[in-house]
Amino acid sequence: MNKITESLLRVVSEFGGSFQGAYNVREDGECAGRQSSANIKIESKKEGPGLVIHVLPGTKGETVYIPACVTHGGIDDLVYNDFYIGEGADVLVVAGCGVHNEESTEARHNGIHRFFLEKGARVLYREKHIGTGKGMGARRIDPVTDITMAENSYLEMDTTQISGVDSSMRKTTATLAAGARLVVRERLMTTGTEWARSDFDVTLEGEDAGVDLISRSVARGNSRQEFNSCIRGKNRCTGHSECDAILAESGSVIASPSLEAAHIDAALIHEAAIGKIAGEQILKLRTLGLTQEEAEERIIQGFLS
Amino acid sequence: MEILKLEHLAWDLPDGAGIIKDIDLSLESGKLVVVTGPNGGGKTTLAKLIAGIETPSSGHLFFEGREITGLDITERAKLGIAYAFQQPVRFKGLTVRDMLELASGKKLDDAHLCDLLGKVGLCANEYVDRELNASLSGGEIKRIEIASVLARRAKLSIFDEPEAGIDLWSFARLVETFQEVRRQKAGTLLVISHQERILSIADYIVVIADGYVRGAGPREEILPTLLADERSPRCPLGKESARV
């Protein structure tokens, strides 16, 4: 892998010079390194670009790294990765993406990840996105995550996009069987003229399925964000979504949450709040000796932590 | 040694109504001074003027002999003035540990955090990693606010009605903490309070009503008069400036 990829990997996928366990590094649309482990098998898809990742039933405490990097303009990388998580497995999946562009043509990564969790499987899915480089060409990341959860499975999705991505369109869909639980934590900051959109569509099919979706975002400069969520309760279930956004300078945010309940015992809640940093918060931190600017940065840093 | 001096301090609402009217006051270093008086009398406004949260319409403030009238909140904080809000603000994403470390200006180990939170009757193990958000009760957030000011070890710490929203047991612990700060000569305390328990440990008491200092002096002198006249709708004291 090249130096830019190494640099991006350190930010997006906890890369410390090497990966321990199973991994596949994608660089500019090509495989730049792969390793399977005894319990986690990574294979190329036969019918197109992408991977099939099998985590054997009962696998515990292992990590699989599936980062992707685009290191220059003129690349439009599309990849389909399917994760099959065996019954009772409990693993960490790290799937960050970095796009670097010093050129005038667009650089884009579009990762389509499908998760199939068997009964009782547990996954912590970390996904960090970053854009770097000073080229005029746009840096785009358009992730798609499609999750199918069997009975009593659990998936926690932790996504972060802090800076440098000119345009991103995230789509996440999930279908949960009985007793399954999905937790999504999204943190997003846009600056300059960046644009980001997040769509979440979760269907709670089974009895006692549950979803907790928390999105915190900051829109600075002239950036724009859109947040759309739909939670569908088709059985006795619990669903909670929370969209908090801070506006700074001329940033704008549109939040469009929706809930659909088709069962008398579907308990669905949505909370949304958009506004500037509360003046009282800044005052409090200034009484601790921080300047106005330091207080604002600390509040945003905490909000997105 | 004089730590704070107010000269002809006044603050008006935008419509011109006077809230603080020509206050002269001088505080001695290392003492516990309690400011009391009827609601709406100007106590909180006075505290905010000292901390720099409000700007006086006229008059002057001096801290350790230096004029601070033109200094902002941050500059006064850096000089050694700390302020505990009557109604603390909540923060999504900031933990109790974050707040106490920001206040103290350094990383704090568990023992130090435990000591600070113990002063306000909270157990560090249960609280340090909790966010300062709506999951905390009013009493809990208030006690953390007080702990954040104690963490600063400021030369002048201002507490605006610290008893509000706090249970009896935590209040008793807080009174002990104020006494401890005074005993260790760890700074001057300016406490706005109506509580007899706090008035009874004061070195000096300042009575503010209708924007004026109506009385000020040693506790032994002021408190009996206040207690004797507690049923009277009129303020018992008539002085308009004071050195305490």
ipTM of the complex in this document:
0.92
CATH number at residue B71: 3.40.50.300
Residue B243, pLDDT score: 58
Contact A287 B78 (CB under 8 A): no
Please check the confidence at residue B232 and state whether its pLDDT lies above 70: no
* B65 near A CB under 8 A: no
Q: Which chain B residue lies closest to A187 (C-alpha atoms)?
A: B93
Mean pLDDT of chain B: 91
pLDDT, residue A136, reads 93
d(CA A117, CA B145): 45
Mean pLDDT of A278-298: 96
The number of folded domains in chain A is 1
pLDDT surpasses 70 at B10: yes
Which residues 208-227 of B have a C-beta within 8 angstroms of A? none
Q: Hey, are the CB atoms on B89 and A284 less than 8 Å from each other?
A: yes
The model's confidence at residue A159, banded by pLDDT at 50, 70 and 90, is very high
pLDDT band at residue A162 using 50, 70 and 90 as cut-offs: confident
Report how many domains make up chain B: 1
Contact A288, B73 (CB under 8 A): no
The partner residues of B217 in beta bridges, in order of sequence, read: B205
- Cα–Cα distances in angstroms (integers) from residue A23 to residues A41, A140, A160, A182, in the given order: 9, 24, 20, 24
**Domain range for residue A128?**
3-303
Chain A contacts of B74, Cβ < 8 Å?
A: 286, 289-292
Angle in degrees, 0-180, between the axes of helices A279-286 and A292-303, rounded to the nearest 10? 120
Position B189 scores a pLDDT of: 96
- Residue A57: pLDDT band with limits 50, 70, 90: very high
Q: Average pLDDT for residues A155-176, to the nearest whole number?
A: 95
The reply to whether B204 touches chain A by the CB within 8 Å rule is: no
pLDDT (tens digit, 9 = 90+) per residue, A83-130? 999 999 999 999 999 999 999 999 999 999 999 999 999 999 999 999
DSSP assignment letter at A281: H
By CB atoms closer than 10 A (0-12, 13-18, 19+), residue A97 is buried
CA distance B224 to chain A (A): 35
- The conformation of residue A49, written as its DSSP 8-state character, comes to S
* pTM for the model: 0.86
Say what the pLDDT of residue B229 is. 67
Q: Does the structure show a pLDDT above 70 at B237? A: no
B65 min Cα distance to partner chain A (Å)? 20
Among A147-156, A187-196, B10-19, B231-240, whose mean pLDDT is lowest?
Answer: B231-240
DSSP string, B20-62: EEEEEEEEETT-EEEEE-STTSSHHHHHHHHHTSS--SEEEEE
H/E stretch holding A75 reads strand A75-85
Position A56 pLDDT exceeds 60 = yes
Domain span at residue B24 reads 2-243
Q: What is the pLDDT of residues B146-187, one digit of tens each?
A: 999 999 999 999 999 999 888 888 889 899 999 998 888 889
CA dist B174 to A59, A192, B1, B125, B168, Å? Answer: 52, 48, 26, 19, 10
Q: Which residue has the higher pLDDT, B134 or A106?
A: A106
What pLDDT does residue B244 have? 60
pLDDT tens-place string over residues B211-229: 999 999 999 999 998 887 6
Task: Give residue A190's pLDDT band: very low, low, confident or very high (50, 70, 90).
Answer: very high
pLDDT digits 0-9 by tens, B102-125: 999 999 999 999 999 999 988 888
